[in-house]
């Protein structure tokens, strides 16, 4: 978190510090980034830097949150490389989820999102079954009750064929 001293700086000076800092973090990674280099490039003393931010971690995290620094990363010619390198820096610190939004990234762990054409391809399957459909396996088991120990034989056979495995070696739950 920046100190009141930093907040009282003019916006141009704040932006310069963040831009220089983010470039240093992107170039060197968090661990190897040098506050001395940041201070020299930003034209401030090291003492001033630590009056603005208590530590390097606060400078790094606040730099990611800063709107002007974000705009610099997006609009500059090297913006993509900076964002990519900063992502690796976050991972280096075991902070992969922190700051992704500030880097213009997101992490969506849900299934892939098909396009409309792909969704349209599956529409025929929606009409295959209805409430009057026969939902029994070849052995007479009701397919709606798949709580058997090994699952539905027909499903195991289908997946066994796809996976090139013996259906007896597959358990579907």
pLDDT value of position 147: 57
Q: What residues in the chain have per-residue pLDDT under 50?
A: 78, 96
What CATH number corresponds to the domain at position 12? 1.10.357.10
Q: What's the rounded Cα separation, in Å, for the pair 127 and 117?
A: 18
Final residue before a domain boundary, out of 57, 92, 127: 92
Tell whether 88 and 8 lie within a shared domain: yes
Q: Work out whether the CA dihedral 53, 54, 59, 62 comes out positive or negative.
A: negative
pLDDT in tens, 68-106: 555 555 555 545 555 566 656 665 555 545 555 555 555
pLDDT value of position 146: 63
Domain that holds residue 164: 135-173
Tokens for 103, please give them: 């880097």
Tell whether 148 and 79 lie within a shared domain: no
pTM of the model: 0.47
The length of the chain is 173
């Amino acid at each position: 978190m920046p100190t009141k001293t930093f907040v009282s700086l003019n916006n141009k000076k704040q932006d310069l510090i963040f831009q220089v800092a983010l470039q240093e973090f992107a170039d060197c990674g968090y661990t190897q980034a040098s506050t001395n280099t940041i201070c020299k490039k930003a034209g401030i003393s090291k003492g001033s830097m630590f009056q603005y931010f208590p530590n390097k971690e606060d400078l790094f995290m606040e730099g990611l949150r800063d709107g002007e620094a974000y705009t610099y990363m997006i609009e500059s010619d090297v913006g993509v490389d900076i964002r990519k390198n900063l992502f690796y820096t976050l991972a280096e610190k075991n902070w992969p989820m922190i700051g992704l939004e500030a880097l213009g990234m997101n992490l969506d762990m849900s299934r892939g999102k098909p396009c409309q054409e792909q969704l349209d391809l599956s529409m025929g399957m929606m009409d295959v079954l209805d409430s009057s459909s026969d939902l029994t396996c070849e052995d007479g088991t009701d397919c709606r009750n798949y709580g058997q120990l090994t699952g539905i034989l027909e499903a195991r056979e289908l997946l066994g064929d796809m996976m090139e495995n013996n259906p007896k070696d597959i358990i579907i739950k």
